[in-house]
Amino acid sequence: MAVRHGVENLIRRGNIFYWRPRIPAAFIHCRPGSRLSLSLHCSDHKKAQIIGRKLNTRLAELKLNSKETMSKLQLQKLFEHERDKELERLDDINIMARRNGRGGDVEEMELDLEAGWAYQLLAKFGTRVDLSLENDCAGLTYLLNNGVPALHVDAIRANYRGELTVARSPGFEDGIRRLIYQFEIDDTAANRQRAMSKIFEGRAAALLDIEERHELVDKSRSEFTGGGRAVTRNAEVTEAEPPPPDSDPSPPSSIVERPSASALTAGPRDPQIAHLDLTPRSAAGKQATLKASDAGQRVVAVSDFEQECDKLIANMGKEWTAETARDAKALVRMFQSVLAEHGIEHSGQIEQYHIGLLRQHFNDIPTDWGRSSRMRVMSAPELRAKGQEMRRAAEASGTKPKVGLAAATIRKHFGNLSHFLKHLKGHGFEIEEWTFEGLRPRKPKAGDIRQQQYKPKPQDIVPIFSSPVYVGSQDHMRGRRRKPGTQVFHDSLYFLPILLTYLGPRRKEFAGLHVDDIAKDEDGYVIILQTNDTRRLKTTQSRRLLPLPDELVRLGFIEYVQAIKKLGYVQLFPDLFSDKTDNDPGNRFYDTFVPVMQAALGKNMWSRAIHALRHGMADTLKQAGVSTEVIDDISGRLSEGSETNTRYTNPAGLPLMREALKHYPVITAGIERKPLQLLPWVENRQPPPWAREGKK
């Protein structure tokens, strides 16, 4: 039982003294009525009284001396923080715009400028006035005086009203309070107003700084920058004195990764019992982590998780493909945002509870969030809000909302999270014991897995080979290739579907073939599947020799290989590769072939269209009596369960494979062989017409 003593807030439990005061109401980040609880680690009564009185004095000072004005340096740091975070977000959006072929689009630049001037209005006029931007409105005069074209005022008005609504929302000011608290700024009404202005100024400065971000845009095409007018950037502030050498102007690690107005509304959960840390707080974000002597182990800031993920990817080396590394980094960013949303600053504060929060987060975000460059840069609260918006829209239209990740995707994410947390723990960082039991979706049973993928029969596939690609099309361009005509072109779209049907490979395996991967033995032509500069193979057993189907020889595949090699190409299907980006040839083939399948099959189109061909080949051979071990050797898999198959024998040889593949019926006999005709830009060694600027 606790025993009170003469000094206020001092109690004894057993032989140990504790200091346990009520938290003053002025400390807004603590729940009203909660208490601090601090063990004094001593049992001596007089010593405890001395410590208790000092703590009471310090608490009174903290309560009374909290009305200082923001310094110029604090304002500068807050402005720079908001500007830099906005620039990072805009750079991510710009990179994805370039990937989607909009890197030089003038509309992308104008969208940034319109949003920037909306923020500039909020910074200059505040949030207590309503600017109509019409007639004699001071805001309209301000825009026109700064060279903003009148035609863009309507768009700026829409941006301004949207951001004004957010800025007036109940949670926005709470977000401002938390932000200035992290920057060591005293919480006063004046300081909150100054901070709000600097936040809007920082975002405006980032959006209006277009020179480097939109360097590919022809600025003479926009009224914003054409006709000798230049964008005036009034959001700059006078350069402050450099901070002392031991300070770091970067924001603390607990700041939400993307500090937009909606992200500011999500605050940390307040504990029932707060523990007072009387050590001076550093303004440096990366110094916010505890020292090893304080925590017992080292900790890593949440803001540094991406750097640690890069180290993990480097450690995994060739064990991880580029796709696996990308998925792992996406998961870490998502986990980072969820932790920041709940006030977690470093690894030592992560609990099992937070892994549960991540699991619930998976249920509430758009299913295809990873395919959208705009959604990929959203914070955790914004993603969930988007998911809720999609649910409401689906309910209104009577459709099924595309919200919530699939069970297999969640299992993959938890696998990557396990790798990451083990990486942190292995490097000596403090991580609580965790479990995924009760969170990870169960692995599908073997019977369920068998039913997941449709296995097309040969007769299901036949209509594909009656499409204009094989009979005759209007032209070589993508859209006209699917329309009936007289021309037949020989490229990946012509040969790869036949290879996928008869041999059942993974699409990237064959899309990334080189001309030297086609050889000949005493019995016929051979495809050599091996790692090359274009792509790696998925597993060790993926490295194999496959017989070339006779139908490919009949349709002129060997002449095609010789023509491509004579032109000096390294890749067997150069139409799948860009000279401007390191694109995935398998994805490029998917984009061109799936519309052809859809047009040929219509309502009979199956899901996971190209991968289903791999399942269909295996199923057809099995129904014809071919052993599953031989089918797996053809497909590049390893049949387990038999010591003889895995340890004592080599993969099936070419003669056995040729004999097995004879059981797949010839379904391309109706294709008439045409004279070899390459795509014009391939034959002339010109860049592909579909290529777009991006990272090489």
Instruction: Check whether 281 has a pLDDT greater than 50.
Output: no
- Could you tell me which residues come within 8 angstroms of residue 424 by beta carbon, excluding any fewer than 6 positions away? 300, 308, 347, 431
Find the angle CA(288)-CA(294)-CA(295) to the nearest 5 degrees.
85
- Could you tell me which residues come within 8 angstroms of residue 245 by beta carbon, excluding any fewer than 6 positions away? none
Residue 175 has a pLDDT of 72
Closest residue by Cα to residue 510 from 589, 621, 606: 589
Residue 261 has a pLDDT of 35
Backbone angles phi, psi at 547, to 5 degrees: -75, 140
Residue 452 has a pLDDT of 72
3-state secondary structure of 9: coil
Chain segment 465-522, per-residue pLDDT in tens: 999 999 999 988 877 888 999 999 999 999 999 999 999 998 888 999 999 999 998 8
| Amino acid identity at 301 | A
Alpha-carbon span 279 to 294, nearest angstrom: 11
Beta strand segments in 407-532, E = 518-521, 524-529
- Confidence class of residue 531 from pLDDT cuts 50, 70 and 90? confident
- Complete DSSP assignment for 137-170: -HHHHHHHHTT--GGGHHHHHHHHHHHHHHHTSH
Alpha carbon 17 to its chain centroid, in Å, reads: 50
Spatial contact of 82 and 202, defined as CB atoms under 8 Å apart: yes
- Complete DSSP assignment for 625-645: T--HHHHHHHHT----S-HII
- Confidence class of residue 264 from pLDDT cuts 50, 70 and 90? very low
The 3-class SS string of 381-430 reads HHHHHHHHHHHHHHHHHCCCCCECCCHHHHHHHHHHHHHHHHHHHHCCEC
Q: Which residue has the higher pLDDT, 310 or 293?
A: 310
- Confidence class of residue 98 from pLDDT cuts 50, 70 and 90? low
pTM summary value: 0.51
Chain segment 226-261, per-residue pLDDT in tens: 643 334 333 333 333 444 444 444 443 333 333 333
Residue 87 has a pLDDT of 59
Count of alpha carbons within 13 angstroms of residue 454, beta-carbon side:
12
Backbone angles phi, psi at 569, to 5 degrees: -75, 145
Alpha-carbon span 433 to 446, nearest angstrom: 31
Chain segment 148-168, per-residue pLDDT in tens: 888 888 889 988 888 888 888
Q: What is the mean pLDDT of residues 594-600?
A: 90
Instruction: Check whether 649 has a pLDDT greater than 90.
Output: no
The DSSP H or E segment spanning 601 is helix 585-601
